Amino acid sequence: MKDKEVFDIAIIGAGAAGLQLLYELTQSPTDHHLKILLIDSGDRSEKSWCFWQNNPPIYSHLIEKKWNHLAFVGADGMEIKSCVEPIHYHYISSEKFYSFFFSEYIPKNPGIEVVAGMAKNVAKGDEYFTISLESGETYRSKKVADSRFNQEDWQKSGGLYQHFYGKFIRTDTPTFDENKATLMDFSLIQKHEHFTCFHYILPFSKTHALVETTVFSTKQYEKVYYQELWEEYWKTQLGAIPYALEKEEMGSIPMSDYAFPLESDGILKIGTAAGQVKASTGYAFTRMHQDAKNIVSQVNRKKPGRFRFYDRLLLSIIKTDTKQVPEVMKRLFHSVPMPQILMFLDEKSTLFQEIQIFCRLPIRLFLTHLWKSFTRSR
Ligand SMILES: Cc1cc2nc3c(=O)[nH]c(=O)nc-3n(C[C@H](O)[C@H](O)[C@H](O)COP(=O)(O)OP(=O)(O)OC[C@H]3O[C@@H](n4cnc5c(N)ncnc54)[C@H](O)[C@@H]3O)c2cc1C
């Protein structure tokens, strides 16, 4: 135990949520003087954080690439491409994000203490929390923000996951449209009964891109399985152009409409552990940013319940009507303007706009899943 020292707030986990909360706390005119403890076990697995925003975007100095055109490709290979200006789709690599925080930002803030270690337990006392690490060390703090997420509990509940396997590649010949990010490409034939697969492409230049295989599934497959899907897509849809592999990224995120608690026994939950990953899409970065702002300004963190309900319907289709997913997405991108879709996914649309969107989707399918969801909840 570090004698006498009691931190104002301890953040467990220096990931997307923990570091964004740290940033907001240290930028706040009222909280910037706080003594902050940042505890992290050191998982720096490669992630690509993409998000859409008008100018000026958040963390503009960390953005490595932005696109003003977005595309969707249906199972029939037809592309829908749209200019979304003044919105842009932005890319930040986790590598650059971590490097900014650990090499620049944190060293300039004397109020932050970083501890490398695995938090094991948080015990609530009368005046402060005691955080025990696996190493046996303990720390004391008046508040705790905890981003630990229990994967095992999730797996046992039979939850759905979004699995990613991506390759950063370079080609000798111009291959990509560097102004266009492809959000979803369903053109690889869906041969699998139990999961939905699509690809996305983020081109950094005409010869440099991240091409990623994405699978919605309750099961985690071996890496080689995703690699085969990736190769098949590259071969059949992009002409098997020779490429040099720069690096890979791999990961999984939960897709759940479960009402993750925002607080548990006085401990603030943040990030994935607080349900900040949007259930039906996996987008989380700007949601975590907004949540960090809400925590600092003590604004209600709860989101309107109807969006959880929409997510539940989509998840029900993804889980049990897997083969319908490409058609639902095609109808959405075909009939709703891209900026409106982005607003809906940001949960900033009005009820009237949402009714308009659902009217353009396969209504019978949604009514079936509405009924399923109703009978399940009784
Ligand atoms: C490959 C991939 C691509 C993604 N792409 C996007 C995207 O384009 N856009 C988007 O918005 N979202 C994306 N996401 C989703 C989301 O942004 C990330 O999952 C995000 O990193 C989740 O933030 P987090 O803080 O909850 O968890 P993490 O970023 O995983 O951070 C958790 C931190 O907690 C630490 N930790 C864990 N347990 C302990 C412990 N017991 N003690 C101390 N420290 C601990 C870990 O070391 C880690 O640093 C992607 C996710 C993946 C996996």
The rounded Å distance from CA 87 to ligand 1 centre is 25
The three-state secondary structure class of 286 is: helix
322 pLDDT above the threshold of 80 = yes
Task: Name all residues whose Cβ lies below 6 A of ligand 1.
Answer: 12-18, 39-43, 47-51, 118-119, 147-148, 164, 249, 251, 253, 271-272, 277, 282-285
Over pLDDT 70: what percentage of the chain? 96
Residue with more model confidence, 34 or 321 = 34
Cα–Cα distance for residue pair 246/73, rounded to 1 Å: 26
CA nearest ligand 1 atom 29, residue: 15
Q: Within this chain, do residues 326 and 265 fall inside the same structural domain, yes or no? A: no
Q: Give residue 321's pLDDT.
A: 84
**Structural tokens at position 200:** 């996305």
* Residue 130 is assigned to a structural domain of this protein: yes
User: 367 with 270, same domain?
Assistant: no
> Ligand 1 test: best mutation among 19, 23, 38, 47, most atoms within 8 Å of CB?
47
Render 12-26 in DSSP notation, one character per residue: E--SHHHHHHHHHHH
In a domain, 98, yes or no: no
Confidence category of residue 103, pLDDT binned at 50, 70, 90: very high
Mean local confidence (pLDDT), 26-35: 86
> Residue 215 above 60 pLDDT?
yes
Indicate if 121 and 261 belong to the same structural domain: yes
Residues 313 and 186 in one domain: no
Residue 377 confidence (pLDDT) = 60
d(CA 185, CA 168): 17
161 and 227 together in one domain: yes
To test the pocket of ligand 1, the residue of 141, 285, 347 to mutate (highest count of ligand atoms within 8 Å of its CB) is: 285
Tell me, in angstroms, the distance from the centre of ligand 1 to residue 15's CA.
5
Question: Which residue range is the domain that position 141 belongs to?
Answer: 7-42+117-149+256-296
Pair (189, 309) in one structural domain: no
What is the pTM assigned to this prediction? 0.93
Q: Is residue 79 part of a domain?
A: no
Give the pLDDT of residue 28: 87
Q: Which residues contact 304 (CB under 8 A, 6 or more apart)?
A: 347
- Residue 1 pLDDT grade (very low, low, confident, very high; cuts 50, 70, 90): low
Condensed to tens digits (0 to 9), the pLDDT of residues 217-276 reads: 888 889 999 999 999 999 998 888 999 999 999 998 888 877 788 998 999 999 999 989
Strand pairing category for 208-217 and 79-83:
unpaired
Overall average pLDDT of the 77-100 stretch:
96
Whether residues 239 and 141 share a domain: the answer is no
93 CA to centre of ligand 1 in angstroms: 12
